[in-house]
Amino acid sequence: MDLKSPFTLGHSVAVAELAEEAGRRLPRRREAVAGLTAREVEALILLARGLSNRQIAERLVITPKTARNHVEHIYAKIGASSRAGAAMFAVQHGLLPEEKAAAARTPR
Q: Per residue in 16-34, pLDDT tens?
A: 666 666 665 444 555 568 9
Determine phi and psi for 19, rounding to 5 degrees: -65, -40
Domains of the chain (ranges, CATH numbers): 1-29 (no CATH), 33-105 (1.10.10.10)
Average pLDDT in the chain: 81
d(CA 85, CA 79) in angstroms, rounded, equals 9
What is this structure's pTM? 0.65
Question: Would you give the distance in Å from CA 52 to the centre of its chain?
Answer: 19
Q: Please, which pLDDT band fits residue 106 given cuts at 50, 70 and 90?
A: low
